A = this chain, B = another copy of it.
Amino acid sequence: MPKVTEDQLAARRGAILDAARRAFARHGYEGATVKVLEAETGLSRGAIFHHFRDKEALFLALAEDDAARTAATVAEYGLVQVMRDLREKDAGWLGVQLEVRRKLRTDPEFAERWAERQQQVRAATEERLVRQREAGVVRTDIPVPILADFLRLVLDGLVSSRATGMPVDHLDGVLDLVEDAVRTPSTVVR
């Protein structure tokens, strides 16, 4: 029954990822030792590393998972929706984002692999902006790459604010303003 085995493998892989996310969020990348990962997953290192080559591969899989989800949300609802969804993100997600940033500064190889993953979010953002522009919703007087960079900056600022516990007092108003800034002026009632 190869189908069942595949489902089981996928479920096991997902369970490892969930547990690893908690471990990285709580202990940081270095602190999430193999021992910690074993305790959090309830599995032996052999079982864990049957699914992921090593700790870095496990961490990259998490980051990749986040990037894929983000790209999917962007494709359907746009990057501003990703910003709105940030309110619901738990400590595990934020913790992994922070570890990603720390590793970006200290590990050039990781930074390179991470940049590849981020390409899919960027591509999804630009594709959606192009579609929305063709639909007359997004402004045409500013090149799409500039609009995409702008949105990414605001998202970075939001993740950073949430992660450092600095609240954005007027988040809804700010996100409306951000959305407004990329829209066709005539579609906005001022």
Contact = CB atoms under 8 A, between A and B. Distances in A.
Interface of A is mostly: helix
A88 interface: no
A51 to B, nearest CB: 28
Copies of this chain in the oligomer: 2
A187 interface: no
10 contacts: A98-B105, A111-B165, A141-B190, A142-B177, A143-B173, A149-B168, A153-B157, A153-B168, A153-B174, A181-B181
Nearest to A166: B104
A-B CB proximity, top 10 nearest: A157-B157, A156-B157, A153-B157, A146-B173, A181-B181, A104-B164, A146-B170, A160-B160, A156-B160, A150-B174
Contacts of A139: 190
- Assign chain A's interface to a size class: 35 or more
Given A146-B170, A146-B173, 17 more contacts: A101-B160, A101-B163, A104-B165, A104-B166, A105-B164, A111-B164, A141-B190, A143-B170, A145-B169, A146-B174, A149-B174, A150-B174, A152-B168, A153-B157, A154-B157, A157-B158, A181-B181
A147 interface: yes
A66 interface: no
A145 B169 CA distance: 8
